[in-house]
Amino acid sequence: MNNKLKDQFEITFWGTRGTLPVSGAPFSQTGGNTNCIEITCGDHTIIIDAGTGIRELGSKLVSTTPEQKIHLLLTHAHYDHVEGIPFFAPLFMENKVIDIRCGKLEGVKDTKQLINDLMKRPFFPVGPEVFSATIDYVTLEKNCSFNISDNIKISTTPLNHPGGATGYRIDFAGKSFACITDTEHTAGKPDQNIIELIKDVDVFAYDCSLLDKEMGDFQGYGHSTFEEGMRLAELANAGYLLATHHMPFRNDHDLQQIEKEMKVKNPKHAIAREKDCIKL
């Protein structure tokens, strides 16, 4: 690999929507695909979640970076986070070795069963036996950390979401990025697990599906707010927040208004938009 690229640390959003994909002019600036984040760490590609955005990412990886080592981290298995898996092109390449990792979830024994059940009839015509890549299925323990190379460390924490979910932090080349979605906070009681995970992180993506004033209408759904994300950023001395998991009823104008409020607190806070690329 080019020495200039060996410490490359980039975060690209390929899907920032939660619940359902959306389309049309009112959503064109933020994007309509569901959750998918690409993190490039040298010659390793780490992908957090496999919503509809992973289809286009897969095409890009096949055509421009075929040598990349791919690691897919799933926060959980709700449709908006896994529905793109059967359409991820590298899974159909014989020369690829891909690890798929997920924390323990209610209703499935392990990560391999999760993928098998996702592609089971009557919901999908073929199963994962159609994949040509060599796939390593890994089920993560709570609060675990592991290295995927000598200088890439991944840390996890459990999140408050129906059925279970996992938050991730990636440390590489002296920089760090964390992704916390989906999780539901309790007003006035910051989640200490999350604070510990994002402590001193350079940037983190956070579940900003709702507004504080909407929480009462969505209690038990497992989501949080941009206001809580900003509070956590301050408590954890985090660099800045990227708001993601936008609800399908939130259009570009709505999100622009939220971003304006965020920037009053920290000019670097921002809404995550599809195809945004952040270089650390």
Q: What is residue 84's three-state secondary structure?
A: coil
What are the tens digits of pLDDT across the range 76-121? 999 999 999 999 999 999 989 999 999 999 999 999 999 999 999 9
Residue 53 Cα to chain centre, angstroms: 11
pLDDT score of 87: 98
What are the tens digits of pLDDT across the range 15-38? 999 999 999 999 999 999 999 999
**180 φ, ψ (degrees, to nearest 5):** -125, 95
Q: How far apart are CA 180 and CA 223, in angstroms?
A: 10
* Confidence band of 67 (pLDDT split at 50, 70, 90): confident
Q: Which fold has domain 9-279?
A: Metallo-beta-lactamase; Chain A (3.60.15)
Closest CA to 161 of 102, 241, 120: 102
Closest CA to 223 of 212, 210, 232, 214: 210
* Confidence band of 6 (pLDDT split at 50, 70, 90): confident
pLDDT higher than 80, residue 1: no
pLDDT higher than 80, residue 2: no
- Residues whose CB is less than 8 angstroms from the CB of residue 76 and which lie 6 or more positions away in sequence, other chains included: 102, 103, 105, 161, 163, 164, 165, 166, 182
- Residues whose CB is less than 8 angstroms from the CB of residue 189 and which lie 6 or more positions away in sequence, other chains included: none
pLDDT score of 7: 85
**51 φ, ψ (degrees, to nearest 5):** -70, -165
| Count of CB atoms situated within 10 Å of the CB of 5 | 11
pLDDT higher than 90, residue 5: no
